[in-house]
Each structure stands twice: as structure tokens, then as C-alpha cells.
Structure 1
Amino acid sequence: MRGGDGGGLPGGVRAGYAAGSLVTGAFGTVPGLLLLPFLTGSLAVPAALAGLLVLLPKAWDVLLNPVAGRISDRAGARRPFLLGGGLALAVCFGLMFAGPTTSPGGVVWVTVAFLACASAFAFFQVPYVAMPAELTDDYHGRTRLIAGRIAVLAVAILVSGVGAPLVRDLAGYPAMGFAVGGLIALGTVATVLGTRTARAPVRASGVGWGDLVAAVRANAAFRWLLAVFVVQAVGIGCLLASVDYVARLTLGDAGSSSLLFAAFVGPAVLVTPLWSRVGARVGKRVGYLASSLLLGAASAALVTAGSVPLAVVAVLAALAGAGYAGVQVFPLAMLPDVTAGSGHVGGYAGVWTAAETLGLALGPGLYGVVLALGGFVSGTGAVQPPSATTAVVVGFSLVPAVLVLAGALLLLRKDVLR
């Protein structure tokens, strides 16, 4: 059912759409959190090479995501791709951590499995991101629809970000992989079933690549919004990749990674509805700017981790998490505003998700470079020089802060974005 207000959509449709965040949250969080430690620890891969291995399979999505979007546009349907892509992702994710534990076989296994995961995820994520433009036409209704999605995303990140390390510590990486795969399968089925009654017509499009490129070039608002989002995604990816290292090497307690994640993500469940109200009162661009400034300032303050009590670190992480919620809500709520009615919404979504995937993948890659510059020594139980422990904190705080605030500067172009 199509409504003029996001709240006019049936509750089951809104909940069904939001359930897709179990998929995007789990796959967006766990590889960034645990894949780099798995490579540098269990497989003893040098940090710079491990960062590259994390980057390359996701970089493949830069090519694949626009293809997935164009395919779903031409098919005139979204949900079949959600089902196939999501279930394939669940299986491949479970297998990724269940291969050989010695090099080079283990490295090849992880690389191939991660490439398969990225490919499957493209065919889930791109149609999923395209759907809001077809579910409702209302400007503020889209914010409310996306706010529900982000609230579930916060829960998904919390469950996977806290639970995955715990399962790994208790039962090993293979058990963790299949547990996360189960969560992905659950989210997939819930999304497909929950949106089955939605009458959201997809206008089948036969436009070629040249038409899509021309549309993107002509759409300044889309390009500017995408630039902000990608720059900040690199910073967020860097922050996510650093949590396990900060817990072990800076705070001296591997278990504190779960506390940091809970502190970072937990507040998002509460503040996401507040960001929706902020957007309704002052506009989405201003809300996006405010949340970016909050995230950037709190991230910069986290440079004190290791020299202040853990409780202070948790409070700073919670403030960063409040900003993070807005940084997720507003760009995704603005995306349908700048793409709806174009005739190739899926193509736009493909370009968006390709850039997002690359940005989030560049984050761990950048963090690997920061660790390498600090002289980080790979291998379980390796003794780290002081420069490496400094690099761990800088990559956790100052690097993400600079990137998030750089994105905020781009938002000052109020003549392009609203």
C-alpha cells in the first residue's frame, strides 16, 4: 500500500522493511569488526596485507552494485532479489570463517568466501535501498520510515557487534560465522514476508548505462549527498575496525570490546526517533549537519582512551553513538528525495551502495595502513612497540573524527541539499 505519509503505511510493512537492517547491520558490522583481527591473529597475515584483503572483495561491489540495481530496475521487482541475495549471503558468511586456519590456504578461502558474500549482499542491499522511494512519496514520511530501519539497524549492530565477539571467544570463529549467518537469514525472511502486502510499483526501466551516467552527472544533489556519505563511511569503517584492537591493546581487556559496542550503538535505539523529530522541525540537512558535528567531536575526544577511566570512554562512545544514529538516518532519508521518479531508482541505489561499500571497506584498509605505519606486529600474543599502541588509538579517534567532520563541511552547500 502506498501512502502519502510514512505513518500511513501498514505497520507490518514498516516493520518488515525495518527487519532488513538485520541483514545490513550484521554484514556491515562483523567483517569490519572481526575479519581484520581474524586475518592478523589466527592466520598471522601482516597488517597492511590484511587490510588489502578486507578491501578487495568489497571493492568488487563498486562494479557489481550498479549492475544489481540496473537488473532490478529492468525486472520491475525488488523482493525476489532480497530473498535470493539474503539467503546466499547467510550461507557464504557462515562458510567464510570455517575454512583452513593456515596460510596460504586459509587466506585464499577467506578471500573467495568474502567475495561471494559481497556479491550476494549486492543483490540484497541495492533493491533494499531502492524501496523507500517506491513505498511512500511523503518527504517527512520517508524520514519516519528510515528512522524505523535505523532503530532496527542499531539493534542489529548491537546484537552482532556484542554477540559475535562473545561467540568467538566461547566457541571459536566458525561458530560465530554460522551464528551471524543465521541472523542474516532471519532478517531476509522477515523482510520478504513483511513487505509482501506492500503495493510499491517498480517502473521497469530499459535505460542503458549511458542514461544512468548522464542522470547521475545531471543530479548535483545526489552527487553531493553521496560525497558526504562516503567520506563519513570511511571514517566509520575505520572506527569499527579499531574497536577490537583498542579493547585488547589500549584498555587491556578483550571483553571491553563488547562494552564499547554497547555504549556506541545502544543510545541509537533511543535517539533515532529524536533525530526524526529534529528533521521534521529544522530540515534533514541541518539535522545531518548537527549529528555529524556530534559524532566528529565525540570521536576526537576518544583519543583519551587509555588515559581516562573506562567509564569516561564509554560515555564518549555513547555520545558518538548518538551522532552516528543521525548520520545514518538523514542521508538515507534524503536519498529518495533526490532520486524518486527518475525511472532508474535501482540504478541510483546501486551507485549509492557501491560507494558506501567501498567507503566502509576503505575504513579497515586505512586502519591497517595506520597500524603498519605504527609498526604493528601481527600474530597472536605478539609484543607491540609503543608506536603501535599509539597508532591503535589514533586510528580509533582522530582519523574517524577528521573524516566525519570533513563530510560535515560538504553539508554547508545548502544551495544543493535541503
Structure 2
Amino acid sequence: MASSAATPPATVSHGVRLGYAVGSFCTANFTAVPGLLLLYYMTNVLAVPAVLAGLVLFLPKAWDLLVNPLVGRWSDRTSSRWGPRRPWLLAGAAVLPVSFAAMFSGPPLTGVPAAVFVGVAFLFASTGYALYEVPYKAMPAEMTGDYHERTSLLQWRMIFVAVSVALSGVVAPMLAGDSADGYRLMGITFAAILLAAMIGSFLGTARAPFIGRQRSDGTLRSQLAAVRTSRPFLWLLGLSSAQNLAAGVMLAGAPYFAAYVLRDTGATSTLFAALVGPMLVTMPLWVRLARRLDKRGAMILAGSLFLVGASLLIATPILGSLYAHLAVVSIGLGYAGLQLLQFSMLADVIAHDSTVSGERRGGVFTGLWTAVENAVSALGATVYGAVLATGGFISSNPENPVAQPDSAHTAVILGVTLVPALMSLAAVLMTLRYDLTADRLAALADDDTASGGTAPGDTSEAEGTTA
């Protein structure tokens, strides 16, 4: 990223906002497509038992708990003419797209061998994603020091997230169908989208302002220890994890809900249209709500909308498909706010730590954040797979369909409604304990300036020069 003057502008240019937002075609699609289709692909195309398939989705994400903090630390310590973060975007682009295509390549395998093949490909894809995602999510806190500008900056990103989720939820299932050939075509198509997004974000952030602190020279262990002392980060991580787990369970269950409750596999696409529609039109509203209610109040409102929608969805067998889609609209309204606000609040936490410590260690924060986020998202599929197994769900392939017992149908709907609703309730309760507000950040910044500390916006280091 390019260096700014000693006192950088509070706002970020439209070109940089757009360039940064393009990267969401990578982050959102890689999160959504495996979360939506990989479990179903394994159980209903490759005949992998549900419990084993859920485990395959989780284990590569557990690897993130190790590699993501390392990537964050490496990017914190990087010195280059491109800044500390942007070189890593290219590193991820060299690994992720090819591995993603391999995940859905439809090998002539079934059962355990197929699970091993998909698991190894997913492990490589997760590594490539870590190389990209961790530095990418650290960048907003280093572009502007303004509390509300960070939300406005990420508003652009969330519009791209909405489009990406639409691609994942509408286009990906249409391409995949129910065959190995369809999934192979989908994998190649979305691998190309990932590559284009990753290169686009690297080029688009070439002129981004940089207000980061000097790099930290402490060990990774000391940095992780410092992260654990950040109360705002721990509360934000907890509430976000609960909400992401709810979304992950619901995402994994969507194809089953469409197939076994609505009895229309094509409804997966229309359900996702109902989910992402609010994301496309409500971002300006959530930005205004964040200013009026502060981010914590807006986050509570968003979580409550998600909770209400998930709870209403349980009546679908009685009230039908139209009702289900209306309930998903409520979920989409809440999901839009949650996606915007949690990342804006993460940037606040990084800025708070920078003010308190006087060091640049946002990569360590985002490394730990993304590791937990990815593991929790994958755990959603594992949890849903366990719910299916408890209900006696029978795995199959397209050539040998089976009739599911009534208990499996019950598990399908409870896993998409009651389970995520309870998780969302836990997230709302935790949000009440989060206290990093605009007033508190402003007071800390004033104290830092008065004490002669390095104010946000100090760009004395040479590594932030123009790319």
C-alpha cells in the first residue's frame, strides 16, 4: 500500500474502495461454496458417510489455527515496496484457485478414498486462502483512522460480498446439478473467479493510504499473548464465532432443506436469492444505524433479525415454500448487518491495539481471527452432519437414491432452524458485553496524542512507500 502524508485523509478514495472490495469475490465465494455444497457433494455424489464428510470439512480448517497466525505474523514483519500486506495477496493467488478446482474435480472414487482426496485438496486450498485472507482483512485498519469511515469503507466490500454470495448460492448449485461432471465444471468456473478477484485486489489497492504503526519485533508467542489480553477482541471473537457457527450450520443445511423439506433441489438458488437480496440494498441503512445506535447496538439488532428468521423457518412444513422464503428474507436482513459490522468492529479492535501498544500487529489479530472464523464455519458443516447422523440420514449417490426415514427429515429441519437460532441467541447475549465504542476509541486517541505517543497516521517507516 502506498504511504500517505503524516496526517492522512479521513476518507479513502472511491478507486481504492472499489479495488479493495473486489477481493471479496475471493473471500466470500471460498467461504460460501464449500460451506454450501461440499458436504452435499460428498454425501450425495461421492457416497461419503455423513459423519466422515463433516469431519473432512472441519480438519483442514483446524489447520488454519496453526497457519493463519503465522501468516499474520509474517505479513506484520514484511518490508517491501508494495507495503506489508499486498505481496501476500499474490502468494495466495498462486495456491488457492488450483486447489479449489481439485476439490470438486469429481475423482472416480467413492466412500473413504473420495473423502481422503477431497480432504487433501481442501487442505491445500485452505493454506492458499490463509496466505490471501489474513493480510487482506488486516488492510482496512491501516487505511483510515476514522471510526465511522471504516464502516463506510467496508460497505463497498459488503456489496461485493452480496454479489459473491449470490454467485455461490444461485449460480454454483445450477452449474453443479447432481453429477460429478457438473461439480467439476462449477469448480473450474469458480477457481477462475477466485483468481481474477485476488489479482484484482492486489492491483486495486496499489494507491491505498497506509497509516500503520512500526512493525513489531516481538515473537509470535508474545504477540498471541498480547492478543489474549485484548478484552474487546476476545468478546468480538466470541460473539462473531457464535454467529458464524449459526450461519455455517444453516449454510450446510440449505441443500438438504430444499431437497427434503421444500422437495425442490432448485429452491437452494431461490433461497439464496432471498438471503442476499437484502445485502444488496440495505448496506447504506446499516451504515446509518451504526452511526445512530453505535456499532454494538446495530449488531444486536442484526443478530436479533437473524434469530427471528431462523426461528420462524421451523414452521415451513406447515406454511410452505413462500413462507420459507419470507423467513429467509428476515435472516438476510440480519446477515447483512452482521457481515458489515463484525469486520468494521475488527478494524476498530486493531486500531485500539495500535493506539495502546504503538506497534503494528494487525496481522496477528486477523490471523487468529480468520483461523477461528474458518474453523467455526467448517464446524457448522460438521455440526449439521452430526445432526443428520443422529437422525439416521442415509448417504447415497445419484445412481442409487434412497428413501430417508422420518427421523432424518426431522433432523434436516431442526438443524437449519432451532440449532442456528440458539447459537444466534448466544451471540446477541455476548454482544451486550462488547464495549469498544466510538467515544472510548476517541478518548484513547486523545490520551495517546497528549502523552506524546505515535499517533495513528505516523508513516515514518520506509516500507510503506508508493508501490
Structure 1 residue 206: deviation in Å?
Answer: 2.1
**In terms of mean alpha carbon deviation, does 359-368 or 87-96 score higher?**
87-96
Identity across matched positions, percent: 42
**In terms of mean alpha carbon deviation, does 358-367 or 91-100 score higher?**
91-100
Letter in 2 for 1:122: A
Q: Which residue of 1 aligns with 2:445?
A: none
Report if aligned partners of 1:22, 1:183 keep a CA contact under 8 Å in 2. Answer: yes
- Equivalent runs, 1:173-192 vs 2, <5 Å: 173-192=183-202
Letter in 2 for 1:326: G
Q: Which residue of 1 aligns with 2:347?
A: 336
Structure 1 residue 43: deviation in Å?
Answer: 1.4
2:116 pairs, out of 108, 127, 136, with: 108
Q: Which residue of 2 aligns with 1:92?
A: 99
Structure 1 residue 20: deviation in Å?
Answer: 0.9
Report if aligned partners of 1:284, 1:334 keep a CA contact under 8 Å in 2. Answer: yes
Report if aligned partners of 2:232, 2:435 keep a CA contact under 8 Å in 1. Answer: no
1:118 pairs, out of 119, 126, 134, with: 126
Q: Which residue of 2 aligns with 1:407?
A: 427
1:257 pairs, out of 268, 274, 299, with: 268
Separation in 1, partners of 2:431, 2:190: 35
Report if aligned partners of 2:144, 2:211 keep a CA contact under 8 Å in 1. Answer: no
2:78 is the counterpart of 1:75: yes
Cα deviation code 1:223-242 (max 9, x no counterpart): 11111001111111000000
Letter in 2 for 1:392: V
If you compute each CA radius of gyration, which structure gives the higher value, 1 or 2? 2
Separation in 2, partners of 1:210, 1:87: 28
Distance 1:416 1:144, change over 3 A: closer
2:377 pairs, out of 360, 366, 389, with: 360
Structure 1 residue 205: deviation in Å?
Answer: 2.6
Q: Which residue of 2 aligns with 1:312?
A: 323
Cα deviation code 1:86-107 (max 9, x no counterpart): 3421111011111523234322
Separation in 2, partners of 1:175, 1:263: 25
Report if aligned partners of 2:246, 2:380 keep a CA contact under 8 Å in 1. Answer: yes
Separation in 2, partners of 1:211, 1:128: 23
2:139 is the counterpart of 1:131: yes
- Equivalent runs, 1:9-408 vs 2, <5 Å: 9-76=12-79, 77-103=84-110, 104-169=112-177, 172-200=182-210, 202=212, 203-340=214-351, 341=354, 342-380=359-397, 381-408=401-428
Separation in 2, partners of 1:263, 1:337: 31
Separation in 2, partners of 1:290, 1:151: 20
Cα deviation code 1:264-301 (max 9, x no counterpart): 11211111221111001110000001100010111111
Distance 1:80 1:165, change over 3 A: same
Structure 1 residue 417: deviation in Å?
Answer: 5.8
Cα deviation code 1:174-194 (max 9, x no counterpart): 111011111111111111111
Matched residue SS, 1:346: helix
Structure 1 residue 306: deviation in Å?
Answer: 2.5
Cα deviation code 1:321-348 (max 9, x no counterpart): 0100111111110112111224211001
Report if aligned partners of 2:106, 2:183 keep a CA contact under 8 Å in 1. Answer: no
Matched residue SS, 1:172: helix
**In terms of mean alpha carbon deviation, does 204-213 or 353-362 score higher?**
204-213
Give the aligned CA root-mean-square deviation in angstroms.
1.5
Distance 1:264 1:353, change over 3 A: same
Letter in 1 for 2:98: V
Report if aligned partners of 1:16, 1:191 keep a CA contact under 8 Å in 2. Answer: yes
Separation in 1, partners of 2:311, 2:260: 19
Cα deviation code 1:361-381 (max 9, x no counterpart): 110000000001111000031
Separation in 2, partners of 1:120, 1:79: 14
Letter in 2 for 1:404: S
Separation in 2, partners of 1:123, 1:307: 46
Structure 1 residue 121: deviation in Å?
Answer: 0.3
Distance 1:31 1:415, change over 3 A: closer
Matched residue SS, 1:35: helix
Cα deviation code 1:107-151 (max 9, x no counterpart): 222111000000000011100110011011100000011111111
**In terms of mean alpha carbon deviation, does 81-90 or 101-110 score higher?**
101-110
Distance 1:198 1:106, change over 3 A: same
Separation in 2, partners of 1:412, 1:373: 34
Matched residue SS, 2:319: coil
Structure 1 residue 211: deviation in Å?
Answer: 1.9
Q: Which runs of 5+ in 2 are unaligned?
A: 439-467
Structure 1 residue 214: deviation in Å?
Answer: 2.5
* TM-score under structure 1 length normalisation: 0.96
Cα deviation code 1:141-169 (max 9, x no counterpart): 00011111111101101112211110112
Letter in 2 for 1:411: T
Separation in 1, partners of 2:435, 2:127: 37
Separation in 2, partners of 1:247, 1:111: 26
Aligned length in residues: 416
Separation in 2, partners of 1:128, 1:37: 29
Separation in 2, partners of 1:149, 1:371: 34
